[in-house]
Every structure is written in C-alpha cells, then in structure tokens.
Amino acid sequence: MQKFFRARKAGVLLACVLGGVASVGTPGQSLAAAKLDELRVPAGFHIGIFSAQVPGAREIAIGAQGTVFVGTMGPGVVYAISTDQAGHATKVRTIAHGLNLPVGVAFYRGDLYVSDTQRIVVLRDIEHHLDAPPAPEVVADALPYEDGDHSWKFIAFGPDGRLYVPIGAPCNICDVGHKFGRLLSMKPDGTDRQDVAFGIRNTVGFTWQPGTGALWFTDNGRDNLGDDIPSDELNQVSHLGESFGYPYCHQGNVPDPQFGKQHACGEFTPPAMLLGAHVAALGLRFYEGTQFPASYHGALIIAEHGSWNRSTLAGYQVVTVRFGQDGKPQAPEVLVSGFRHGQTAWGRPADVQPMADGSVLISDDLSGTLYKLTYDGKP
C-alpha cells in the first residue's frame, strides 16, 4: 500500500504584484499557502508553491532558458515566470493580455505560441523580450468556433515539428459532423492544416510517448448520464483519421441515448484506459526525469481537474499511469491529493509539466497557483 504524507512547506514562495511584474515575497497570503499542508504526496515526495500569482493558470510550457510560461482560463492573459539557477521563481510578468481564453501555450524554436478561441498567435523570440514583449502575431485564424462549450484550446508541438490544435465539440452532446470534435495539426506558420483524429469531445491534454512517438490524449466524457457513466478516457492515436466515437459512443461501449443508433461502438477505436466518470482529466506528460524513483520513468502524469455535476466529487488530484511490459497502461495511482474536503474543493489541477531538474510543476486554475513537486526520499 502506498503511504501518503502531508506536504512540506519548504521554500514556499508567494508574490506581490507590482505593475505586471511580481517579485518574490514572504509566504502567508494566498489560499494555496494556507491549504498547502492539506495536500498528500507519497513518501519521499514534497510539494511547495512555485508561484501563487497566476490567476486561472492552465497549460504550462518551458522555454529554452528556463522561463515558465502559463496560459490562463479566465483573465485573458499569459504569464512568464523567470527562474534562477536553482529553478526557483524570481519574477512573474504578464506578456500578453486581451486574449479570449488563452489556455494553451507552446514553446518552439524561441517563439511562444498561444491559443485563442478562434486563432493561434505567436510571440516571437520571447525570452529575449520579457520586459517588452512583442505584439502577438496571428499565425492561424478562422478556426471553427461556436459560442458554446469547449472552445478553449490546449496546444502542443509534436516530434514532427507540427503544431497540434483541438477543435472541441461546442456542446455537451451534439452531432456536428467533422467540423468539431477533432484534433488537427499544422505547420508552425499555420499552413497545411491536417486532420489527425475525430470523435473527440473535449481534449485538454495530449503528449507523445518517448521512444515510440505515439500520441496520447485525454478526453472528457459527456454529462447528464448519471454519476458513473461515461468515463473520461485515455486514448492513443495509431493512425491519421482515426475516430474515437463521440457523439455516438462513449468509453468504447456505451451507445449515446440520442445518437447511438446511427453508429455502433464497434466502428470506433476504444479507449486505451478508462480514467473514471467526470474526473475531468486534462493536462498530461510523460515523465523522463531522474529525480523521481525509477518506477516513474516513462510513466504518464495526469492532472484531474475534478467533477462539477456528480453527486459525490471525483478527481481533484494528480495521478500516475505506468505502462506494463506489454506497453499497455496500468491502473492510475494517486500522486497528489487533498485539493478538496468532501464536497468542497479549494484547488483544481489543470496541467503538469516536468522541469529540467526532474521536478514537476502543477497548475491550479481555482487558486491561481503553480505547485512544484519534488523528490528527495526524505520523510
């Protein structure tokens, strides 16, 4: 049985915002700092606050010089957090504002790509211009959009050098053909758009497996079918044009009551793993560092944002998914928990991002915090 321990408040850093730049100050003011002792991590792990000045924090990207970039769900801004040689946050800057749900950030060859609901913009050579960031340059616009659900976009560059962008379903459940509910890719300049996969309700996290290059992604299942169905999914793309079932089939074996008669579940690729109903699995990354125990190497770390319409809350944690010798994912194990008390949550993990030193950053858009998870083997 895995033992869990309270978080250790070591080197907790909070910030005081001054004209868009936050300087590190003394702990004691943020919700996350007050609740930090409630977080649970396995023995030998420790979790502290990397920055508590990132309201609405969502996707995390790391620059070539160690700058931590953070997209946001609500404020319409993008943050850049400078770090020192020890990997500690030193300054928090607002480098873009006035955007529409700029959830996604992706760093590529010195440039920072940022998602908007209908376009992708780029901040050129950003790490050399943090104090005077360039105006966002549009590289892709006219992305499919309807004023509804799932228009925000997690983005990432694949090992092929292409930018991957999801087009979420604009609803809880609807049949909109191939215009929505898909994942596409494009060249860095926004040209040569290609469809990668279909039948995806709302992916807010995807990544590529080192060694195999396989694309893995989370998908959030539909609502209003009860507490326990359908499950959120962990999926693997095996070929271009693959379809994963939405809106006709959920979790590989649950026909939709409205659209399920149009196509059988057997026509679609089933999930590689079921993650649980309404856990809201979002950002995920493969862990390739050496700081954590060897059993974590090559495992997926997944942020579960947490349920909003389940009679008993689910999710609100970070989990680890290891892979067996057959290459198949094994049952998730809890890595970080304690973001809620019964039916009340104070934190919602949204993304995870390994750092160069082997630690892992975790974003929390409810408390506006980035946490840093480390391991030293000490209690």
* DSSP category for residue 337: B
Cα gap 29→223, rounded to integer Å: 36
User: Quick check: helix, strand or coil at residue 331?
Assistant: coil
* DSSP category for residue 170: S
User: Quick check: helix, strand or coil at residue 228?
Assistant: coil
Q: What is the DSSP string of 281-315?
A: EEEEEE---SSS-GGGTT-EEEEE---SS-SS---
Tell me what pLDDT residue 1 has. 42
209 CB burial (10 A radius; 0-12, 13-18, 19+): middle
345 phi and psi angles, rounded to 5 deg:
-110, 140
Quote the pTM value.
0.92
| Residue pLDDT, tens place only, 155-188 | 999 999 999 999 999 999 999 899 999 999 999 9
Contacting residues for 89 by C-beta, under 8 A, at least 6 apart? 13, 15, 24, 50, 51, 68, 81, 82, 83, 370
| Alpha helices, H only, the chain | 31-35
| Residue pLDDT, tens place only, 39-76 | 999 999 999 999 999 999 999 999 999 999 999 998 89
Q: Taking Cα atoms as reference points, which of 8, 20, 210 lies closest to residue 96?
A: 20
Task: Name the maximum alpha-carbon separation found in the chain.
Answer: 59
Position with higher pLDDT, 7 vs 192: 192
| Residue pLDDT, tens place only, 199-254 | 999 999 999 999 999 999 999 999 999 999 999 999 999 999 999 999 999 999 99
- Domains defined for the chain, CATH in brackets: 4-375 (2.120.10.30)
Q: Do residues 91 and 97 lie in contact, with contact meaning Cβ atoms separated by under 8 Å?
A: no
Number of H helices, E strands in the chain: 1, 33
Vertex 319 angle, CA 297 and 227, to 5°: 150
Burial 218-239 (b: 16+ CB within 10 A, else e): bbbbbbebeeeebbbbbbbbee
Q: Is the dihedral of CA 27, 28, 29, 33 positive or negative?
A: positive
Residue 154: band (very low, low, confident or very high) from pLDDT cuts 50, 70, 90:
very high
Cα gap 234→44, rounded to integer Å: 28
Residue 7: band (very low, low, confident or very high) from pLDDT cuts 50, 70, 90:
low
